[in-house]
């Protein structure tokens, strides 16, 4: 894989070839190898790597980017890589309209609250490791699931799923299909945590939506 900066300049970088995959995996998600994700880190830059999977769960392509300024949230669920490509955290949504969370000192739109929480996760990450189906590879907005590597020497060294964290914090909730079932049943427990009064769920009006 060639790692490029967001300006298109090639950055020398060796990527480990070993990737932890789920046998028979049918979607771009599931367990990851934290050591592999951590190995992608580059001092002074935020690295973003996308792995593209076929329906059998095999990695068939990778793209890598690096930026000294990190990557930004352009919506509550969208991450801009460059002006031509963004990633969409599929199956999630912000609540509708306005919300108030007095404990967190927030009063404003649901969209602003969610975007701010996503911005924090993007800003603090040393590596953003994302997975998508191969069919998404050339799309300007690509459905993906993403993980972040966070390291604070002496206190924290972890790889977390962005969607799980955002839902657990009440920044986002599970979007539903037309038949009323949720699009991300794998995050049902995370939403249960959020519904304990975190984020949007601190505002009783959200439950009525």
d(CA 125, CA 116): 14
Q: Which residue has the tokens 């580059």?
A: 42
Quick check: 170 and 95 in contact, CB under 8 A?
no
- The pTM of the full predicted model, rounded to 2 decimals, is 0.84
* Residue 78 covered by a domain: yes
Determine the pLDDT at residue 20: 29
**Domain span at residue 56?**
3-201
Quick: pLDDT tens for 127-147.
Answer: 999 999 999 999 999 999 999
d(CA 60, CA 4): 19
* Residue 7 covered by a domain: yes
* Residue 187 covered by a domain: yes
Dihedral Cα 172, 173, 174, 179, nearest 10 deg: -130
Collapsing DSSP states into helix, strand and coil, what is residue 34? helix
Helices (H) and strands (E) in the chain, counts: 4, 14
In order, the DSSP letters of 129-176 are EEEEEGGGTT-SEEEEEEEEEEEETTTEEEEEEHHHHHHHTTS-EE-B
Quick: pLDDT tens for 93-107.
Answer: 999 999 999 999 999
Q: How many domains does the structure of the chain reveal? A: 1
Quick: pLDDT tens for 61-78.
Answer: 999 999 999 999 999 999
- Reported as type and span, the H/E element at residue 36 is helix 34-39
* Residue 27 covered by a domain: yes
Does 44 score more than 60 pLDDT?
A: yes
* Residue 48 covered by a domain: yes
* Residue 63 covered by a domain: yes
Q: How confident is the model at residue 30 (pLDDT cuts 50, 70, 90)?
A: low
- Alpha helix (H) ranges present in 40-81? none
Does 21 score more than 50 pLDDT?
A: no
């Amino acid at each position: 894989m060639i790692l490029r900066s967001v300006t298109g300049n090639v950055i020398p970088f060796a990527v480990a070839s070993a990737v932890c995959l789920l046998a028979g995996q049918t979607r771009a998600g599931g367990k990851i190898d934290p050591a592999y994700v951590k190995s992608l880190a580059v001092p002074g830059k935020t690295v973003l790597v996308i792995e593209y999977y076929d329906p059998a769960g095999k990695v068939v392509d990778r793209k890598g980017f690096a930026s000294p300024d990190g990557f930004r949230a352009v919506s509550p669920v969208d991450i801009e890589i460059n002006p031509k490509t963004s990633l969409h955290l599929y199956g999630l949504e912000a609540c509708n309209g306005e919300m108030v969370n007095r404990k967190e000192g927030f009063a404003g739109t649901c969209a602003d609250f969610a975007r701010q929480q996503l911005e924090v996760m993007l800003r603090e990450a040393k590596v953003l490791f994302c997975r998508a189906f191969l069919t998404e590879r050339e799309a300007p907005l690509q459905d993906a699931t993403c993980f972040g590597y966070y390291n604070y020497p002496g206190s924290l060294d972890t790889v977390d799923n962005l969607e799980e964290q955002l839902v657990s914090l009440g920044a986002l909730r599970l979007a539903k299909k037309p038949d009323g079932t949720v699009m991300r049943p794998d995050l049902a427990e995370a939403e249960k945590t959020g519904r304990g009064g975190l984020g949007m769920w601190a505002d009783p009006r959200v439950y009525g939506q």
